[in-house]
Amino acid sequence: MKDFASNLNPFLSELEPDDAGLDREEVSRRYGISLENIMMLSRNENPYGPSPRVWEAAKGVPLQRYPNSRHFVKAVSDYTGFSEENIVVGAGMDEIITTIARLFLGRSDKALIPVPTYNLYGLAVRLCGARPVYQPRLPGFEVSKEITKDAKMIFLCTPNNPTGNSISEETVRAIADTTDGIVFLDEAYAEFAKKSLLNIVKEHDNIAAGRTLSKAFGLAGLRLGYAIVPSWIAEQYRRVAPLFSISSFSLAAGEAALRDLKHMRQNVSKIVSERERMHCRIEGANPSQGNFLYIETPIRSAEITDCLLRRGIVVRDCSSMPGAGGNHIRVTVGTPEQNDKFLEAYWSIQ
């Protein structure tokens, strides 16, 4: 057979593949636990789900037509207060991250990534043939204002996945003012935080802020994200993004979810109060502004993760995240019952 694989892009060999961790079925198969006894606290999903209005909205969708994002964009505009020309959409924020990286990064460019953080940034950078520069965070997981001058992109996640802390507005502004590059501000968890930095996009021509409906709105399965960007970036984005990547179902459901903020806020408030309860009860948990906790574990995180798995509790072992080391797990805040089960299991392991 000819060596067809030699046609692969050479930089693909350096990719660290993204790892969503075990899914429910795999845990069930490997550990012999029935599906209903498995608790997924590994993906920062919302345990309460979306507004019931999304089911109604999905009913009238004309499936013979290609999707039209106009109404969804209008709903994002009403929710964020930004004009439609500053809003771009994607099949999950993941698609937005990879598309924006493609807009700015080429072979041997550098992108600055304060770590630990969301793994996809590094992958998106490498997919462009560019190089991620992983910068360790300061104490308290703060991001340093000292940045490499030659970075074409800088990825700032606030609140940060997995550490949970927010970046101060002052730091984001200082970085955006210093760099000649583009700052991607990831606000996937903004609704769970005290403060959003979205408005600073108005004053900076080099900040693009990503958002998602996967977390606070409980729509991770629909793959729906948006970004607030300066209009010059929006124009370029629309040139390169796939035209119809978001399904009509997702757009209709997303619009309905954005029109039911009461539902979203009620769920966020339940999650935030549980987050604070858990934070107080877990030694080694970092204060969090997201829907998850970053926990420094007294024994290796891989070992703790495995012990929890045997009890049907799936959490994220952070050891595969650059900069996280081998002693951290990330646990999603679930319902009070789920959290109690987690706490009991976690305490019993040590």
Smallest separation, CB 347 to ligand PMP (Å): 27
* Residue facing ligand PMP at closest CB distance: 92
Which residue, among 205, 208, 166, 222, has the nearest Cα to 189 in the 3D structure? 166
Listing DSSP states for 41-84 in one string gives -SS---TT-S-THHHHHHHT--TTSPP--HHHHHHHHHHH---G
Considering beta carbons, is residue 72 or 118 the nearer one to ligand PMP?
118
Considering beta carbons, is residue 100 or 309 the nearer one to ligand PMP?
100
Q: Is 211 in a helix, a strand, or coil?
A: strand
Considering beta carbons, is residue 123 or 233 the nearer one to ligand PMP?
123
Smallest separation, CB 321 to ligand PMP (Å): 11
Considering beta carbons, is residue 223 or 263 the nearer one to ligand PMP?
223
Smallest separation, CB 214 to ligand PMP (Å): 3
Query: Which residues on adjacent β-strands are paired with residue 328?
Result: 296
User: 284: which 2 tokens?
Assistant: 């080694």
Say if CB 180 and CB 193 are below 8 A apart.
no
Smallest separation, CB 330 to ligand PMP (Å): 10
Considering beta carbons, is residue 67 or 92 the nearer one to ligand PMP?
92
Smallest separation, CB 121 to ligand PMP (Å): 9
The 3-class secondary structure across 286-310, one letter per residue, is CCCCCCEEEEECCCCHHHHHHHHHH
Smallest separation, CB 227 to ligand PMP (Å): 10
Which residue, among 178, 214, 192, has the nearest Cα to 287 in the 3D structure? 192
Which residues of this chain interact with ligand PMP, rule CB under 6 A?
44, 92-94, 118, 157, 161, 186, 188, 212, 214, 220, 225
Listing DSSP states for 167-182 in one string gives PPHHHHHHHHHH-SSE
Considering beta carbons, is residue 188 or 197 the nearer one to ligand PMP?
188
Q: How far apart are CA 219 and CA 207, in angstroms?
A: 26
Considering beta carbons, is residue 27 or 124 the nearer one to ligand PMP?
124
- Number of residues written out for the chain: 350
Smallest separation, CB 134 to ligand PMP (Å): 16
